[in-house]
């Protein structure tokens, strides 16, 4: 029993420390426009027509029961309850394919593989979202850390955190839970 408790606390320490490296986010480098070709297409989600790269984001609001119906248990735990996956266990932390990463909750395109980089944290890391409006930010002071949480701009689902220790051109590291992303490879 003591060994299980010890392993649990070690795992918590690893998760918190890996996803909270260099937590100073007070002054960010202004985001530069990505050289991404953005093509607006329609997709049928819950019998509604939803743009993948909308100019204006229409908020998706559902009851917790509705979210539970459309999300897996893991997606629900992360997106709706602000959980996290263990480092190096998510489905996209080491994905090297070219394509687009979408929110599993509402199918909003969030990150392009061109902005993905290897951070060594065990989570998919990106230096900028497809559009700034697609990823919102919230102050996160849970567990004694001063971090910036990032959420989906359409459904407000928890994605992960952003830190100011990323590569050029933005200097940002969006540390994202891979298990709440859907990846669509370029054709």
Catalytic positions: 175
Under a CB-based contact definition with an 8 Å cutoff, are residues 127 and 170 in contact? yes
| Two structure tokens written together for 141 | 């002071």
135 DSSP β-pair partners: 152
Q: Where are the beta strands (DSSP E) in 115-172?
A: 116-117, 125-126, 135-140, 147-152, 158-163
Of 145, 144, 135, 114, whose CA–CA distance to 24 is shortest? 145
Of 78, 80, 46, whose CA–CA distance to 63 is shortest? 80
Using CA atoms, how far apart are residues 176 and 165, in angstroms rounded to an integer? 14
Using CA atoms, how far apart are residues 65 and 7, in angstroms rounded to an integer? 33
């Amino acid at each position: 029993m003591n060994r299980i408790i010890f392993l649990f606390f070690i795992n918590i320490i690893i998760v918190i420390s890996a996803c909270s490296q260099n937590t100073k986010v007070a002054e960010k480098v202004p985001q530069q426009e990505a050289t991404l070709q953005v093509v607006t297409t329609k997709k049928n989600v819950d019998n509604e027509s939803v743009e993948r790269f909308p100019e204006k984001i229409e908020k998706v609001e559902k009851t917790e029961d509705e979210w539970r119906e459309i999300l897996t248990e893991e997606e629900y735990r992360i997106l709706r309850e602000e959980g996290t996956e263990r480092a190096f266990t998510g489905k996209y932390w080491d994905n090297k394919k070219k394509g687009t990463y979408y929110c599993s909750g509402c199918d909003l395109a969030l990150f392009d593989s061109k902005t993905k980089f290897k951070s060594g944290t065990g989570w998919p890391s990106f230096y900028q979202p497809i559009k700034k409006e697609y990823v919102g930010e919230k102050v996160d002071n849970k567990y004694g850390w001063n971090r910036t949480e990032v959420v989906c701009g359409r459904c407000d689902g928890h994605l992960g955190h952003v830190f100011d220790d990323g590569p050029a051109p933005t200097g940002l590291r969006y540390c994202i839970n891979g298990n709440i992303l859907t990846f669509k490879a370029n054709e």
